[in-house]
Amino acid sequence: MNVHDVRQVIADAHRREWAFVLAATARVAGDLDLAEECVQDAYVAALDAWVRQGVPDNPGAWLTTAARNRALDAHRRDKTLRGKLPLLIEPPPPEPNEDDPPEIPDDRLRLVFTCCHPALGREAQVALTLRLVCGLTTSEIAQAFLVSESTMAARVTRAKKKISAAHIAYREPDAAELPDRLDAVLTVVHLLFTTGHGQLRSDLADRAIDLGRVLATLMPDEGEVRGLLALMLLTDARRATRTDASGRLLLLDEQDRTQWNRAAIEEGGALVVEAIRGGRPGRFTLQAAIAALHDEAPSYELTDWPQIWQLYGRLQRVWPTPVVALNRVVAFAMVQGPAAALAEIDLLEREGRLEGYHYLPATKADLLRRLDRRDEAAAAYRQAIEWCDNEPERAFLTARLTATLA
């Protein structure tokens, strides 16, 4: 195999195996920084070895063995290496036995739950997950979150230091802790997805979906894990039609539904059904159910709005946020008409919890426009433009404002 092909295989292995290799190496290394170094070295060594000897049958196992051996060598060479950023590992790793290599345990959940520990701030959880679980470089993560590389490097270092100094254990949560701890993990993965989706960065959205698949494999009994994977697939199915050729954002009613990804819709739809069958659907499953109804509808008008409105009602009960309330109003408008929905918007405005959230005036503007109350609609669009924090949506709102004034 030539160097080019081997590089391709290694890139694949990086994306598919990084988390497994690092998680297994962390247990031997007992130190996150050392584990990362050893895994990076193993990937470098693989290029040379695989060009000469061919690609092994199981690249992940080869990389894991290589990285773990490097960690063991480092310990033999220099005892002081241990203690840079020591991980609290339970139970203690068994003594390696060269004659009878034990099966390498799948430690990916330990890694994920450690990165998303509630004692770490949300930004730190996201950064660590991308760095340690997805194997992204600090510079790639910095770009995704629009901060400087040095800021991101400091954030990652600070988080790793807290893990070791505060003795955050490298373990999976027990049954009693699981609901809260799992919610943090799912929130981080969803945040990765929405960041990628919002910035029209498909690589980040793909990473989030990959992570969702891994979690669904490792925790097959958790309905919300399936629900989140379904939500991401069903949202991502519309990726190709989110903007027109010039990059302008398109609303659901403007999108060419024939271009939606049917395979993703089918997979996501099946996952929603399974997740709901499990009982007591949570916020991700309910959002996925709503996304499925949109994806499966032949047109915007022929969407099952009454059921969507009802699902938003259920979502509001398990996840009472003003944003959910606003989305419920949008569905309500489709069922009962814009005039009835405007009254609900007024209630939300008076509550004041959506101050600064541009979708509130944008929704209000749209309802007023449909009622042909143009001056009020224009004022609402202006407010939405002022509050909007990203360029594609600001361009969209500006175009709407212009059309309203025409």
Partner 1 sequence: MAQYLILIYEDESSYINPSPEVWQQAMEAHGRFAEQVVAAGGKIINGNALQPTATATSIRNDVVTDGPFAETKEALGGYYLVEAKDLDQALTFGKLCPAPFGGVEVRPIMEM
Interface with partner 1 by CB under 8 A: which residues?
Answer: 88, 90, 117, 119, 165-169, 173, 177
Residue 168 vs 271, nearer CB to partner 1: 168
Residue 39 vs 168, nearer CB to partner 1: 168
Q: Cβ of residue 119: shortest distance to partner 1, in angstroms? A: 6
Query: Rounded CA gap, 329 and 57, in Å?
Result: 55
Q: Cβ of residue 33: shortest distance to partner 1, in angstroms? A: 18
Query: Rounded CA gap, 284 and 261, in Å?
Result: 20
Measure Cα distances from 117 to 79, 129, 166, 228, 379 in Å.
Answer: 29, 11, 12, 19, 44
Residue 135 vs 173, nearer CB to partner 1: 173
Residue 83 vs 102, nearer CB to partner 1: 83
Q: Cβ of residue 164: shortest distance to partner 1, in angstroms? A: 9
Residue 4 vs 79, nearer CB to partner 1: 79
Q: Cβ of residue 166: shortest distance to partner 1, in angstroms? A: 4
With beta carbons less than 8 A apart as the criterion, state whether 259 and 221 touch. no
Q: Cβ of residue 394: shortest distance to partner 1, in angstroms? A: 40
Query: Rounded CA gap, 123 and 208, in Å?
Result: 16
Q: Cβ of residue 30: shortest distance to partner 1, in angstroms? A: 14
Residue 89 vs 330, nearer CB to partner 1: 89
First to last CA, the chain: 63
Place of tokens 């080019």: 4
Handedness of CA 228, 210, 71, 157 (dihedral sign): negative
Nearest to 157, CA basis, from 141, 174, 169, 146? 141
Place of tokens 């190709």: 240
Angle at 63 between CA 107 and CA 140, to 5 degrees: 80
Residue 172 vs 206, nearer CB to partner 1: 172
Residue 173 vs 227, nearer CB to partner 1: 173
Residue 87 vs 365, nearer CB to partner 1: 87
Query: Using the 8-state DSSP alphabet, how is residue 168 labeled?
Result: -
Residue 117 vs 131, nearer CB to partner 1: 117
Task: Show Cβ contacts of residue 193 under 8 Å, excluding neighbours closer than 6 positions.
Answer: 204, 205, 208, 209, 212, 232, 235, 236
Query: Rounded CA gap, 215 and 178, in Å?
Result: 14
Q: Cβ of residue 32: shortest distance to partner 1, in angstroms? A: 15
Cis-peptide, bond into residue 298, ω within 30° of zero: no
Q: Cβ of residue 117: shortest distance to partner 1, in angstroms? A: 8
Concatenating the DSSP letter of every residue in 182-250 gives: HHHHHHHHHHHHHHHHHTT-HHHHHHHHHHHHHHHHH-TT-HHHHHHHHHHHHHHTTGGGSB-TT--B-
Q: Cβ of residue 177: shortest distance to partner 1, in angstroms? A: 7
Place of tokens 């960041």: 195
Q: Cβ of residue 353: shortest distance to partner 1, in angstroms? A: 24
